[in-house]
A = this chain, B = another copy of it.
Amino acid sequence: MNGFRHVAMFRWVEGTTTGQQDEVAARLRELPGVIREIREYSLGADAGVNPGAYDFVLVADFADQDAYLAYRDHPSHRAVVDRYITPIVAERASIQYTT
């Protein structure tokens, strides 16, 4: 594949409920229907295999960097980040790379 991939991992703050985590996943899953630049969108919670793992990950694929930037800055994406993610984030790790 030739494209551009965004990967983000999160640790949630202590006391985050499963309801809050499910809400994040549900809201993010709506974005591919709203933001046409998203080519593939995969997310999930840690399987609990390794100690020290992050809690949640998102892997999103785009045609190119511009398409990623359109997603990053899209109001529907920002609304999910601001309303559902930022309030429960303890730590975030991210990277973007050409695939």
A residues sitting closer than 8 Å to B (CB atoms) are: 4-5, 7, 9, 42, 44-47, 49-50, 52-57, 59, 65, 68-69, 93-99
| Among candidates B5, B53, B96, B97, residue contacting A95 with C-beta atoms closer than 8 Å | B53
Nearest B residue to A93, CB-CB? B93
Oligomeric state, in number of copies?
2
Evaluate contact between A9 and B93: CB separation under 8 angstroms. Answer: yes
- With a cutoff of 8 Å between Cβ atoms, the chain B residues found around residue A55 in the complex are 95
Evaluate contact between B49 and A65: CB separation under 8 angstroms. Answer: yes
Q: How far is the CB of A22 from chain B (nearest CB, A)?
A: 14
Evaluate contact between B7 and A57: CB separation under 8 angstroms. Answer: yes
Q: How far is the CA of A46 from the CA of B97 in the complex (A)?
A: 5
| Among candidates B47, B65, B94, residue contacting A54 with C-beta atoms closer than 8 Å | B94
Q: How far is the CB of A57 from chain B (nearest CB, A)?
A: 5
Q: How far is the CB of A48 from chain B (nearest CB, A)?
A: 8
